[in-house]
Amino acid sequence: MNRDIVGLPAGYRDLLFRDAEVRRGIENEFASVFASAGFREIIPSAVEYLDLYTRGNQGIRERAMRFLDREDNLLALRADFTPAVARIVTAHLRDMPSPVRVWYSGPVFRKTDRHRGQYQEFSQIGAELIGGNPAGADCEILDVALNCLSKSGFPDASVHVNHAGIFRGIVNGLGLGASELAEVRSAIDRKDMRALGSRLEELGVKGSVRGQVGTLSRCVGDSRALAAAASSIENEESREAIASLESLASHLPQWRERITFDLTEIDEMEYYTGVMFTFLSPAHSVELGRGGRYDSLMREFGTDLPAVGFSFSMDSLGECA
Amino acid sequence: MKNCVRIALPKGRLYDSGTALLARAGIEIAPADGSRKLVFPDRDGRFEFIPLKPVDIPVYVESGTIDAGIVGSDILREVEADVYEPVDLGIGKCRLVLAAASGLALPAAGSLRVATKYPRTTERFFRGKQLHVHIVKLDGSVEIAPLLGLADAIVDLVETGRTLRENGMRVIEDVASVSAKLIVNRTAMKTKSVDVRHLITQLDTVVYENPGQQD
């Protein structure tokens, strides 16, 4: 094979000088926020067993870059940080203070569709808080994330906040089968509310519950919007979830202007179990990162600890800087 | 920066009905000033329109380069773009069908050659039936492929079925029913929520609650 050695494979790029300096600057600001909040850096291995990605998030496994080692074990380039953090914390929990506060920064690799102009190497920076009191941890992690954005040149960045328990509480009582539930989730994920309404009606879901799903699909705004949604919802799990969002925001008055309650988005992969964050740059109309509570992931690694974290796309941060 | 909501309009069969629907929703393209611009504002300066080839629209909207667009569900399913599709606009209705020469029985086993402009949709359709097929991707005049011997069957759009009959073919099975959708970028729904929601509500209203003057 005679390939041009000065070229690069499709889906990859070099970042030179100015682009590299911008990212270095952002990473340094994040690092100092993390250090003062008591988070310590870890550098997970760049190579994992492919099976690491079987737990929790199926979508990532399909997109991992895989290869074989000398013993023909299936390996993958790092496709996500969070499972690696879960693996590390599970292995070294006894040597770590509780709760565990870690941060990471580096590349992840995922297959993308050909010819869509997407890269296959992404750069992420994020943090995880494992253990401790969940309500306090949610507050702490959101505060750290917003501090990172504020200190690194994104003072107008906003966060849309939701809670997986709100939707879960509404659909749990419906007695839908797995495939019907997947259909309902997919219609909500596409925001096709007419199709969703008629499907729910076909499935025999009563009008008041269809009304609640409709309420969620419109609920975006401040605490008044959240209170309005709460008033129409009857089940205990959803109400508790809404109350925990109210409490989260009330403990972060310094970020009131930055927080929007947005109950419209659901987590189609069912990865998050509690609070969910989407970080945005309104000025650039770009999503900067995501995060949330994922208590069931640690359990899959054999450590039954609550966990919450966030991850920013360094590529998006670099573009908007 | 990009504070105005940009809407992609499909060139071709959906253009006139799509712009008419937007006009009834109170969103009108400002009259052309004779220049050869590629981007047109609306009368209120709240939206911008960009006419594009339909197959390109999901890619633009998924990437966020354009905030919203009108596109046929045939193309949307084929491109598999990760976008919101909040309103089925009910225009451009037709069917995507599997068709073959009259008299040809499809083999229950063994392999079939199928010509289509929709390779991914076709692959999904046959995978669902657990049938193995060879797909030939074409860009136009798909109905002629069986006549010329390139394929045994086709997967293509039909409106009336006349073209099929004229080429000696018949519909074997529906693959999907097709209509035009409003699609919206996931981030724009949050960052430009006031104008994007206005667009969705207005279109939903003219399509479902006030469908009177449909042309």
Instruction: Name the residue among B1, B2, B85 with its Cβ closest to that of A192.
Output: B85
Q: Is the pLDDT of residue A26 over 90?
A: yes
Chain A contact present for B4, CB below 8 A: no
Q: For chain A, say whether B191 makes contact (Cβ under 8 Å).
A: yes
- Cα B111 to chain centroid, rounded: 29
pLDDT for B93 equals: 95
B137 touches chain A (CB under 8 A): no
Q: Give me the residue spans of the domains in chain B.
A: 5-92+179-213, 94-177
- Residues A310 and A279: beta-carbon distance below 8 Å: yes
B59 close contact with A: CB closer than 8 A: yes
**CB-based contact B118:B125 (threshold 8 Å):** no
B61 close to A (CB below 8 A) = no
Fold: same for B5-92+179-213 and B94-177: yes
So where are chain A's domains? Answer: 18-172+235-320
Tell me the pLDDT of chain A averaged across its residues.
Answer: 92
The C-alpha of B86 sits at a distance from chain A's nearest C-alpha, in angstroms, of 4
CA distance A89 to chain B (A): 33
pLDDT in tens for each of the 215 residues of chain B?
457 899 999 999 999 999 999 999 999 887 766 666 788 888 778 899 999 999 999 999 999 999 999 999 999 999 999 999 999 999 999 999 999 987 766 666 567 899 999 999 999 999 988 888 899 999 989 999 998 989 999 999 998 888 888 888 899 999 999 999 999 999 999 999 999 999 999 999 999 987 765 44
Helix (H/G/I), strand (E/B), else coil: A6: coil
Question: Residue A151 pLDDT > 50, yes or no?
Answer: yes
Residues in A touching B190 (Cβ below 8 Å): 160, 220, 260, 262, 278, 280
Q: Does A187 touch chain B (CB under 8 A)?
A: no
Binary contact (B88, A195; C-beta < 8 A): yes
Per-residue confidence (pLDDT) for residue B212, from 0 to 100: 62
User: Looking at chain A from residue 194 to 223, which residues have their Cβ under 8 Å from any Cβ of chain B?
Assistant: 194-195, 220
Interchain CB contact of B209 with A (< 8 Å): no
pTM: 0.91
Identify all chain B residues contacting A117, using CB atoms and an 8 Å cutoff.
Answer: 63
pLDDT score recorded for residue B110: 63
Distance in angstroms (rounded) separating the CA atoms of residues A91 and A94: 8
Among the partner-chain residues B63, B85, B188, the one whose CB lies closest to the CB of A190 is B85
Of A116, A193, A280, the CB nearest to B190: A280
Distance between CA atoms of residues A123 and A212, nearest Å: 38
Scanning every residue of chain B, which has its alpha carbon at the shortest distance from the alpha carbon of A117?
Answer: B63
What pLDDT is stored for residue B215 in this prediction?
45
Whether A227 shows a pLDDT value over 60: the answer reads yes
Q: What is the pLDDT of residues A272-309, one digit of tens each?
A: 999 999 999 999 999 999 999 999 888 888 888 999 99
What is the Cα–Cα distance from A50 to A107, expressed in whole angstroms?
Answer: 17
Spell out which residues of chain B touch residue A287, defining contact as CB-CB under 8 Å: 186-187
- Which of the residues A113, A115, A119, A190 would you substitute to probe the B interface, choosing the one with the greatest number of B C-beta atoms within 10 Å? A190
CB spacing of A278 vs B190 below 8 angstroms:
yes
| Chain B residues touching A284 at Cβ < 8 A | 1-2
Report the gap between the CA of B191 and the closest CA in chain A (Å).
Answer: 5
Å from B84 to nearest chain A CA? 4
Instruction: Out of A113, A195, A280, name the one closest to residue B191 (CB).
Output: A280
**Which residue out of A159, A191, A284 would a mutagenesis test of the B interface target, given it has the greatest number of B Cβ atoms within 10 Å?**
A191
Distance CA A96, CA A84 (A): 16
How does pLDDT run across A169-197, given as a tens digit for each residue? 988 878 888 888 888 888 888 998 888 98
Interface with B, mutate which of A284, A285, A316 (most B CBs under 10 A) = A285
The reply to whether A299 touches chain B by the CB within 8 Å rule is no
Of A193, A195, A280, the CB nearest to B187: A280
What kind of architecture, by CATH, is found in domain B94-177? 3-Layer(aba) Sandwich (3.40)
Choose among A191, A264, A285: nearest Cβ to B64.
A285
| Tens digits of residue pLDDT in A48-107 | 999 999 876 667 888 999 999 999 999 999 999 999 999 999 999 888 888 999 999 999
By C-alpha distance, the chain B residue nearest A285 is B191
| ipTM exceeds 0.85, yes or no | yes
Please list every residue in chain B whose beta carbon sits closer than 8 Å to the beta carbon of residue A286. 64, 187, 191
- CA distance to partner chain B, nearest, from residue A98 (Å): 36
- Which CATH number does A18-172+235-320 carry? 3.30.930.10
CATH class of B5-92+179-213: alpha beta
**A286, B187: Cβ pair inside 8 Å?**
yes
Q: What is the pLDDT of residue B1?
A: 40
| Cα–Cα distance for residue pair B128/B55, rounded to 1 Å | 24
Choose among A229, A174, A164: nearest CA to A199.
A174
DSSP codes of every residue in chain B: ---SEEEEEE-STTHHHHHHHHHHTT--BPPP-SS--S-EEBTTSSEEEEEE-GGGHHHHHHHTSSSEEEEEHHHHHHHT---EEEEE---S-EEEEEEEETTPPPPSSS-EEEEES-HHHHHHHHHHTT--EEEEE-SS-GGGHHHHTS-SEEEEEESSSHHHHHTTEEEEEEEEEE-EEEEE-HHHHHHTHHHHHHHHHHHHIIIII--TT--
pLDDT of residue A1: 54
Answer yes or no: are the C-beta atoms of B28 and B43 closer than 8 Å. yes
